[in-house]
Structure 1
Amino acid sequence: METAYPPLNELFVFLNTTITQISIFYSHIPGSGILLKYIKNSHQNDPFRTILELLLVFFAIIYLFTKKYRTDNLIELTPQEVEELVDEWQPEPLVPQLSDEENEFDKIPVINGPQGPRVKLVNGKPLLNISSFDFLGLLSHDSIKEKAIKTLREYGVGSCGPPGFYGTVDVHTEIERKISDFLGTEDTIIYSQGFSTINSAIPSFCKRGDIIVADEGCNFSIQKGLQISRSIIKWYKHNNMEDLERVLRKIKDEDIETGRRLTRRFIVSEGLFENYGDITPLPNLIELKKKFKYRLILDESLSFGTLGKRGAGLTDYFDIDPNQVDMIVGSMCYSIASSGGFCSGSFEITEHQRISGPAYCYSASLPAMLTVAATESLKLLKQNPLLPSTLKFNTLLFKQLLHNIKYLLLNGSADSPVIHLRIDEGIVRVGDIEDKEKCLQDIVDEAMNNGVLLTRAKYNRTQELFSIEPSIRICISASFNKKEIEKTASVIKSAATKVLKNRVH
């Protein structure tokens, strides 16, 4: 009886010889090794991208060899058919109907004159502005205005060029040096937009395959940076260090089980949370990042200038060496009355961003007058060391006055100048998010009628990754006196009572 093994062996030999010849031929192609390495690195943990690119290549081949067609043979329409089509056509309105959110624009108060803790509307009505991030009251400081005007006359409006090309001037390097000295870090890089700073710094270091563990309460800018990085994102419950340790331990166990190769790993959090007003426990973060060997990215946009004895942020507040935080990211739009942002850390971290930070490489540099305004604000903060303690006193006084407020919950850490007032659903009868926002807006309007300018916290709910309860966001300023703080608290109490008393369960 004849066996089928010899033909099968011949087939295996033929396949092996063919594959070997193809491999040898491919290895002689210039750059073949680099191409293979790129495919392995870029397609790790992402089979969907591999399939998508193969489909695109297949489509391109079909498109190149498909017979082209011409559109010369147009269908001729009779005059009657043309008239019928014209009669049927309905043009879109030039001005679409406004949404409910756009209809609120008519209610937005318009300030006449410069920003500051005390403002006037176009109708001349004076208001206490407790909705501004001008925590230290430096926005209307005369010396900052004088410096900015002098710089404008000397340098002009701006370079209109990226910092790495022809946009960097001496005042930029000066503010970078000043921030490093103030924080106690090795080096600093500045960006021209505060919002883009953190969402540029994150993807500068985090790529596909890297792992980022982030707080669920992080602000919208951080969320965008995480999405742009295309890294593996793991979330832990807001400000919950036990849950953070659980997530880190789970990742470690997965590494052991799957044999996953070691990649760059980061923990991302805010120093002072914009959406909640609470302070992250930095000592615990540093302990966990050392234990599990992660790098720490800390957004200090709101804590810079507000927390600590010197106002140097969370490391000053907890008396921790700033070099234990790998990247300190902050905004110059708030406490130091300017624009733009900064990232501070080691020299290697800042230099890497100068060639890989999207918002640094592709944006015009910060105008010189705004740079000098930031430098002058930092100088005033150093010359007035009581500013952070005054801010802290005003914060504690305000929270003490609102401690027993009816119908509303007071959210935020004790020393946080950012406070969120949310409806107490255990007492007040409310419906969905829209109903809550309407109630809060009524409180804002009532407070404005009584001389206090408030604002609801606004969110892009179609893009926010986590649901956030509607709130009124209050920002305390060091420039308020005791009488103004007492008046503000009294007005808010009265407005909340007037609006919500009829909604009690």
Structure 2
Amino acid sequence: METAYPPLNELFVFLNTTITQISIFYSHIPGSGILLKYIKNSHQNDPFRTILELLLVFFAIIYLFTKKYRTDNLIELTPQEVEELVDEWQPEPLVPQLSDEENEFDKIPVINGPQGPRVKLVNGKPLLNISSFDFLGLLSHDSIKEKAIKTLREYGVGSCGPPGFYGTVDVHTEIERKISDFLGTEDTIIYSQGFSTINSAIPSFCKRGDIIVADEGCNFSIQKGLQISRSIIKWYKHNNMEDLERVLRKIKDEDIETGRRLTRRFIVSEGLFENYGDITPLPNLIELKKKFKYRLILDESLSFGTLGKRGAGLTDYFDIDPNQVDMIVGSMCYSIASSGGFCSGSFEITEHQRISGPAYCYSASLPAMLTVAATESLKLLKQNPLLLSTLKFNTLLFKQLLHNIKYLLLNGSADSPVIHLRIDEGIVRVGDIEDKEKCLQDIVDEAMNNGVLLTRAKYNRTQELFSIEPSIRICISSSFNKKEIEKTASVIKSAATKVLKNRVH
């Protein structure tokens, strides 16, 4: 019996034969298998990218076969008309107009002489410096300065070369070894800039298609590292472990539903949050990390040298094996009064960064003088446990004195030497963010008039991913005595009352 649709069968045979011949011809092209594999992987990792590339190819084909547009009727201008147009032309501004906050830069107090807990301004006014990250008071320590001067004479000023080429000297390997011993980790790598440490370490391991779950309260440096990584970023509410578990479980459910291939997974958090002054519950983080098979990146920039019995950070504070944290990232700019940063973990973690960490590979290494200063600070921290006990005493005393402060809220964990004072909107009548910042700046100015140097916490709000309530950031130091702590608390109370008493609801 003859088929009712002979032309249709012939068409199917023709299409099948043509496709088979094209497939055979394509398979004989060198590199065709690699290209096909790349296209499949690219589509699986980023389907939007495949659609975009197809659109670009389609646009290119249309562009090639579209009739070109020509302008034959050009208008001829006389030399005089050209000159008139040139005179009338106004260039676009090189930079946008400065905001009110940026215009305040010329009002920033300038210190005359060295930094420290007690400073003098250029006008000669002495102040108690409660705004510096010099938590242990090592910035002006005599033995550190002597070591730094001796190293300067022996090694010179800088290295003029990246660590991976000819910028590494013996003092660099020494500080890496000492930090590892102090933390209890396998190995450490140091960076020459503190800000660049975390935003270089993250993209060294996290790539496109990987998943990072991060705390919404993470500092600006972490945010930049997450953006550079181009990974899939999921956020959980600040310091909320229940919300973190919800996000992790949702990702797991999505993997099952969509059949998404397994990629590298990371949890990113700060140990002591710069923008809030609270401490992350590390035991809960580690429990969730193990439960959902994630790696943990912990930024200990502020907790290193301030928390724990030995000052070794959060693992010391919670008495947890540091090897349970995959990457401990810290700063040498704060407690140990030097410069640069470090990343500690397994040998594989540190060695990978030596060949793939942008800030490590493409920046000159840390000057030997600053490296030795950090080594000496670490030595003093080990030898003087009184530094940590005094810091803790001063922190608790200051918080007790400001416990019942009017008009302001005291934010920060009990043992945190970083404290944020924010306006209590339940009592004080304020407007938008600019109005709040103005009120806080008036408190800062009033305190400075009475001998205490404070600072508002300042943010690049055009680039911050989450809105942060304006605050005055206070950093307690072990260098202050009891009378100075009492004076500071009294001045802040008086300044807040003077500025905000007329704004009560």
TM-score band, normalised by the shorter chain?
over 0.9
My pick for the range that moved more, 382-391 or 477-486, is: 382-391
CA distance, structure 2, for counterparts of residue 301 and residue 392 of structure 1: 18
Q: Which moved more, 1:191-200 or 1:437-446?
A: 191-200
CA distance in 1, matches of 2:15, 2:236: 51
The answer for the alignment partner of 1:453 in structure 2 is 453
With over 3 angstroms needed to count, the CA separation of the structure-2 counterparts of 1:359 and 1:70, relative to structure 1, is farther
- Figure out how many residues of one structure are paired with residues of the other and give that number: 505
1:299 deviates by 0.5
Q: CA deviation at 1:45?
A: 4.0
Q: 1:341 offset after TM fit, Å?
A: 0.8
Judged with a 3 Å threshold, the aligned counterparts in structure 2 of structure 1 residues 35 and 157 are, in CA distance, closer, same or farther, namely: farther
CA contact (8 A) 1:44 1:209 kept: no
Question: Aligned with 1:419: secondary structure?
Answer: strand
> Which range is displaced more, 408-417 or 330-339?
330-339
Matches of 1:487 and 1:471, distance apart in 2: 21
Residues 10/146 of structure 1: CA separation in 2 closer, same or farther (3 Å cut): farther
Q: Distance in 2 between matches of 1:152 and 1:39?
A: 55
- Is the 8 Å Cα contact of residues 155 and 368 (structure 1) preserved in structure 2? yes
Comparing 281-290 with 35-44, greater Cα deviation is found at 35-44
Distance between the aligned counterparts of 1:95 and 1:313, measured in 2?
Answer: 41
Q: Distance in 2 between matches of 1:320 and 1:448?
A: 42
Contact 1:42-1:208 at 8 Å conserved across structures: no
Most deviating of 46-55 and 446-455: 46-55
Structure 1 pair 156/21, CA: closer, same or farther in 2 (3 Å)? Answer: farther
Change (3 A) 1:435 1:56: same
Mapped to 2, the partners of 1:73 and 1:148 lie a distance apart of 73
Per-residue deviation at 1:19?
Answer: 2.6
Displacement of 1:86: 4.4
* SS at 1:43 equivalent: helix
- Can you give the 5+ residue segments of structure 2 that lack an aligned partner in the other structure? none
Map Cα deviations across residues 75-124 of structure 1 (whole Å, 9 max, x no partner).
Answer: 54224423542453346689986431232122110001111111110011
**Residue deviations 1:199-250 (CA, integer Å, cap 9, x gap):** 1111111112211111111111111111111111111111111111111111
How far residue 360 of structure 1 moved from its aligned partner, in angstroms, is 1.3
Structure 1 residues 7 and 465: alpha-carbon distance in aligned structure 2, compared to 1, 3 A threshold: same
**Range with bigger deviation, 65-74 or 367-376:** 65-74
How many angstroms does 1:61 deviate by? 6.6
Change (3 A) 1:307 1:81: same
Shift of 1:56: 4.4
Cα offset for 1:382?
Answer: 0.8
- Supply the RMSD in Å over aligned alpha carbons: 2.3
The equivalent residue for 1:208 is 208
Q: CA deviation at 1:169?
A: 1.4
Q: Provide the secondary structure at the position in 2 that maps to 1:474.
A: strand
**Cα gap change, 1:42/1:194 in structure 2, threshold over 3 Å: closer, same or farther?**
farther
In 1, Cα distance between equivalents of 2:94 and 2:303: 46
Q: Which is further off, 130-139 or 90-99? A: 90-99
Seen in structure 2, the aligned counterparts of structure 1 residues 73 and 149 have a Cα distance that, compared at 3 Å, is farther
Question: Are 2:242 and 1:242 equivalent residues in the alignment?
Answer: yes
1:350, distance to aligned residue in structure 2 (A): 0.9
- Find out whether 1:81 has 2:81 as its counterpart: yes
CA offset at residue 67 of structure 1? 9.2
Q: Where does the alignment leave 5 or more consecutive residues of structure 1 unmatched?
A: none
SS of structure 2 residue aligned to 1:29: coil
Alignment CA distance shift 1:24-1:144 (3 Å): farther
TM-score, normalised relative to structure 2: 0.94
Farther-moved stretch of structure 1 (407-416 vs 20-29)? 20-29
Deviates more, 1:293-302 or 1:247-256: 247-256
Tell me the alpha carbon deviations over residues 112-158 of structure 1, each in whole angstroms, 9 at most, x when there is no partner.
Answer: 11111111100111111111111111111122122222222222222
SS of residue paired to 2:45? coil
73 and 475 in structure 1: CA distance in 2 versus 1, 3 angstrom threshold: same
Describe the shift of the 1:15–1:161 C-alpha distance in structure 2 as closer, same or farther (beyond 3 A): farther
Q: Is the 8 A contact 1:328 1:343 kept in 2?
A: yes
Q: CA deviation at 1:3?
A: 4.7
Counterpart Cα distance in 2 of 1:130 and 1:64: 66
Contact 1:212 1:268 survives alignment (8 Å): yes
3-state SS of paired residue (2:463): coil
Query: Structure 2 vs 1, CA of residues 56 and 150 (structure 1 numbering), >3 Å: closer, same or farther?
Result: farther
- What does residue 22 of structure 1 align with? 22
Identity %: 100
In the alignment, the residues of structure 2 paired with residue 364 and residue 504 of structure 1 have an alpha-carbon distance, to the nearest angstrom, of: 53
Change (3 A) 1:93 1:304: closer
Q: Which moved more, 1:419-428 or 1:286-295?
A: 286-295
Q: TM-score, normalised by structure 1?
A: 0.94
Displacement of 1:20 after TM fit? 2.8
* Alpha carbons of structure 1 residues 72 and 125: separation in structure 2 relative to 1, 3 Å: farther
